[in-house]
Amino acid sequence: MSRFLARVLIAALGLWLAAVVLAGVSYSGWLDLLLAALLLGLVNAIVRPIVFLLTLPLTILTLGLFLLVVNAAMIGLVALLLPGFTISGLIPGILASIIVGVVSWIGGAVLGDGKSD
């Protein structure tokens, strides 16, 4: 449970950094940021695999670059579902997904995989 909370906080940190760096990403408060991180985790666990399978031919055709659009769509879906978190277009969504992905990758490397040696 503590690893789950740590991952939500890392995702919230990535969303906060995206909101600081990008003009098209905003949130109204820290609670909205934490809810957006939690909702992003749920969307990535449930919706993203379905969208990935449906767009697999396009992803293969673009050599994987379409995954940036898929990730931006997942952040856009979170913004659509949560009124206190907004994304103002596709380009800020793509850039936000890159920032959140890099921050989550670094956070995952710091946390480790959770397996005992």
Intervals of the chain under pLDDT 70 = 113-117
Residue 116 maps to a domain: no
Range of the domain at 30: 2-111
Count the domains in the chain: 1
Residue 117 maps to a domain: no
pLDDT at position 71: 94
Q: Is 26 helix (H, G, I), strand (E, B) or coil?
A: strand
Closest CA to 98 of 69, 56, 78: 69
The pTM of the full predicted model, rounded to 2 decimals, is 0.88
pLDDT at position 1: 72
Phi, psi of 47 (to 5 degrees): -85, -40
Write down the H helix ranges in 22-89.
30-54, 56-61, 66-81
Q: What is the DSSP pairing of strand 25-27 with strand 85-87?
A: antiparallel
State which amino acid sits at residue 113.
D
pLDDT at position 115: 65
Residue 8 maps to a domain: yes
pLDDT at position 111: 84
